[in-house]
């Protein structure tokens, strides 16, 4: 008996020591294990669903409609649409489109609408016709609209009434082969087919199922600014679409949740993660036409919201907004999204109550993602060392790339394998090839270059560091410096422009700034410049600061030098060149004085 007691004591002592060691050195081990089993369970459910023939976004929606036909799916202002309501209305849109436009399966149709239940109904209607949708950013101007239509190859544009005037401006550039329909009861301009007024004339009965698809074929086109030039048409596969739908589920949301979506539906975050996530769960979505900091918590209380979808900029607006009683009276228990800075994260939790935050990272182009349950990765990745001047990966004499060390920022890349594909940009093979890195770690391998810099700390946590090259992020959108430079160069008084992003204390991302050289015998016309920006670029892409130079600094290969400009930013105490600030109320660029600079960096003037 003594021996047994000794053995048991030793075993229990060893287990206790092991537990204490685990808690001291592997504090997240249990969470890792639980999340691993959660991923395994989802994989099994997905495989079972595929065996039943449920392989597309539309299949998932129809399955959920059969399960919960009377459950509210979309709440929009005073409208409540059940899963069955959306199913039937999407059938009507499909029938009207087939009758009025003779659209055929396989056609690519551009959708240019603000957030509205009919955005979802039209989209699902296109899916039922076997068509592929291309989502257009509602901030784009006529020139960019024409570019997007040409690059993706869409011959039919479905537009809401509020954007029709921009379509009229773009008509000469769209070409004769493009048809336009208005998703409304009437049209302010003649010559356009309206759709909403014809819905009652057609059947709401289910259509014949569209042809079966391959998981790796195109499902959707979403436009992104990429790294250079105008918007690029990213091809999203069916596999990526249905994989994205598990986001809310992996964050801990359930079918009982009411999920608040204020992000624009033309973004992957709202359409695939958000609406798709609601469909996956069978949850209810409260859809907002446009984000409003003043109405946010009031809406959460009004609609009994329990889960919110965010981007970092949205959270910053909320913590900077004056306090309202509803920010403590809500029922929100989960916030899921991406791009949340650590300082905003802390203030958000401190101010708005015990809300679980699930911060993720993902890309429209490639299947790579992270979720911060403890930082579980969805797909394999590497962080590569890079040249700070060119942002190209550093290679050895043998031509292989080098991994970044822990604590060192590196370019995030993902290997292209069967479950992690990059279909490329529609109509742009050259730009598609630029996103690929070959012979990275061994001969013959291919990696997708995300264009993002991240670093891994000693505990294995990943942190976003910056964008690389010719893109920066502002107001939750990617801004192409090349596009903005080209727009500035169209003005008669600007000879050259070098556009870059600068950080501002308390702001997410980088604000636009341009170093410009004026033509000889010309002066800066701030009001003319502002008018030009309003006409040609969305507000988030406008340069907020100007730096007037005699000549632009270039590298030995004649590329514009940005590093020093970014470091000096817009501080008039450091920069001797004339500086200007976009004063929006005056619709003009005004001299940037030291006092104005301090008002901006202190947060007295909000951007």
C-alpha 193/C-alpha 196 separation (Å) is 10
Q: Right CATH number for 83-213 from 3.40.50.980, 3.50.20.10, 3.40.50.2000, 3.40.50.1370?
A: 3.40.50.980
**Cβ(371)–Cβ(357) under 8 Å?**
no
pLDDT given at position 377: 39
Q: Per-residue pLDDT for 10 more than 90?
A: no
Q: Region of 520 please: left (phi>0), alpha (psi -120 to 50) or beta.
A: beta
Could you tell me which CATH class the domain 380-466 is placed in? Answer: mainly beta
Query: Range(s) for CATH 3.40.50.980 in the chain?
Result: 28-67+238-374, 83-213
Tens of pLDDT along 458-472?
Answer: 777 777 666 666 678
Tens of pLDDT along 202-254?
Answer: 999 888 887 778 777 889 999 875 444 567 888 888 888 888 898 898 888 99
Q: What's the rounded mean pLDDT across residues 537-543?
A: 92
Q: Is the dihedral of CA 596, 601, 606, 607 positive or negative?
A: positive
As given in the structure block, the two tokens for residue 27 are 């504090």
Q: What's the rounded mean pLDDT across residues 22-47?
A: 60
pLDDT given at position 587: 92
C-alpha 205/C-alpha 80 separation (Å) is 20
Q: Per-residue pLDDT for 583 more than 50?
A: yes
**Cβ(116)–Cβ(138) under 8 Å?**
no
Compute CA 60 distance to the chain's CA centroid, rounded to the nearest angstrom: 22
Instruction: Choose between 336 and 429: higher pLDDT.
Output: 336
Burial of residue 140 (number of CB atoms within 10 Å: 0-12, 13-18, 19+):
buried
Q: Per-residue pLDDT for 573 more than 50?
A: yes
* Max avg pLDDT among 108-122, 137-151, 428-442, 461-475: 108-122
Q: Per-residue pLDDT for 539 more than 60?
A: yes
pLDDT band at 124 (very low <50, low <70, confident <90, very high): very high
Q: What is the pTM of this model?
A: 0.73
Could you tell me which CATH class the domain 470-602 is placed in? Answer: alpha beta
Q: Among 104-108, 233-237, 450-454, which stretch is predicted with the lowest mean pLDDT? A: 450-454
If you write DSSP's letter for every residue of 528-556 in order, what string do you get? HHHHHHHHHS-GGGSEEEEEE-SS--B-T
Q: Per-residue pLDDT for 365 more than 60?
A: no
Could you tell me which CATH class the domain 28-67+238-374 is placed in? Answer: alpha beta
Pairing status of strand 334-338 against strand 543-548? unpaired
């Amino acid at each position: 008996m003594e021996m047994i007691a000794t053995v048991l004591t030793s075993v229990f002592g060893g287990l206790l020591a092991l537990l204490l060691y685990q808690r001291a050195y592997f504090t997240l081990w249990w969470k890792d294990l639980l999340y691993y089993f959660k991923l395994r369970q989802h994989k099994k459910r997905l495989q079972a669903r595929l065996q039943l023939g449920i392989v597309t976004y539309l299949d998932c929606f129809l399955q959920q409609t059969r399960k919960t036909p009377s459950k509210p799916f979309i709440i929009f202002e005073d409208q409540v649409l059940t899963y069955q309501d959306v199913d039937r209305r999407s059938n009507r849109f499909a029938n009207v489109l087939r009758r009025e436009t003779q659209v055929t399966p396989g056609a690519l149709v551009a959708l240019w609408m603000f957030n509205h239940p009919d955005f979802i109904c039209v989209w699902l209607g296109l899916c039922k016709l076997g068509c592929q949708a291309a989502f257009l950013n509602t901030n784009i101007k006529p020139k960019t609209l024409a570019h997007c239509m040409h690059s993706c190859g869409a011959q039919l544009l479905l537009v809401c009434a509020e954007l029709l005037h921009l379509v009229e401006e773009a008509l000469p550039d769209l070409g004769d082969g493009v048809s336009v329909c208005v998703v409304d009861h009437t049209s302010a301009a003649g010559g356009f087919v309206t759709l909403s007024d014809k819905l009652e004339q057609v059947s709401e009965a289910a259509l014949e199922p569209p042809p079966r698809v391959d998981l790796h074929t195109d499902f959707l086109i979403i436009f992104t600014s990429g790294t250079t030039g105008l918007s690029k048409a990213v091809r999203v596969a069916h596999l990526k679409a249905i994989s994205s739908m598990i986001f809310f589920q992996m964050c801990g949301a359930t079918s009982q949740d009411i999920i608040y979506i204020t992000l624009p539906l033309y973004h992957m975050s709202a359409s695939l993660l958000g609406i798709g996530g609601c469909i996956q769960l069978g949850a209810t979505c409260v859809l907002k036409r446009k984000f409003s900091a003043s109405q946010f918590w009031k809406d959460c209380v009004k609609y009994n919201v329990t889960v919110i979808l965010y981007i970092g900029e949205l959270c910053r607006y909320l913590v900077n907004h004056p306090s309202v009683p509803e920010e403590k009276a809500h029922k929100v228990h989960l916030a899921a999204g991406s791009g949340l800075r650590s300082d905003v994260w802390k203030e958000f939790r401190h101010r708005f109550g015990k809300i679980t935050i699930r911060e993720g990272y993902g890309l429209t182009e490639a299947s790579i993602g992270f979720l911060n349950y403890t930082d579980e990765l969805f797909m394999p990745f590497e962080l590569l060392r890079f040249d700070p001047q060119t942002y190209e990966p550093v290679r050895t004499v043998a031509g292989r790339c080098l991994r970044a060390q822990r604590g060192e920022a590196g370019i995030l890349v993902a290997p292209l394998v069967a479950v992690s594909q990059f279909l490329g940009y529609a109509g742009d093979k050259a730009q598609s090839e630029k996103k690929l890195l070959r012979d990275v770690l061994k001969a013959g391998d291919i990696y997708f270059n995300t264009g993002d810099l991240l670093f891994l700390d000693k505990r294995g946590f990943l942190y976003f560091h910056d964008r690389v090259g010719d893109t920066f992020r502002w107001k939750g959108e990617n801004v192409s410096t090349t596009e903005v430079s080209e727009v500035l160069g169209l003005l008669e008084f600007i000879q050259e422009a070098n556009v870059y992003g600068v950080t501002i204390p308390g702001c997410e991302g980088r604000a636009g700034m341009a170093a410009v050289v004026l033509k000889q015998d010309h002066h800066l016309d701030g009001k003319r410049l502002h008018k030009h920006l309003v006409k040609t670029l969305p507000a988030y892409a406008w340069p907020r600061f100007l730096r007037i130079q005699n000549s632009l600094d270039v590298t030995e290969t004649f590329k514009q030098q940005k590093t020093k400009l970014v470091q000096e930013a817009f501080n008039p105490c450091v920069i001797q060149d004339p500086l200007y600030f976009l004063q929006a109320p005056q619709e003009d660029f005004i001299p940037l004085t030291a006092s104005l600079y301090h008002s901006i960096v202190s947060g007295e003037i909000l951007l």
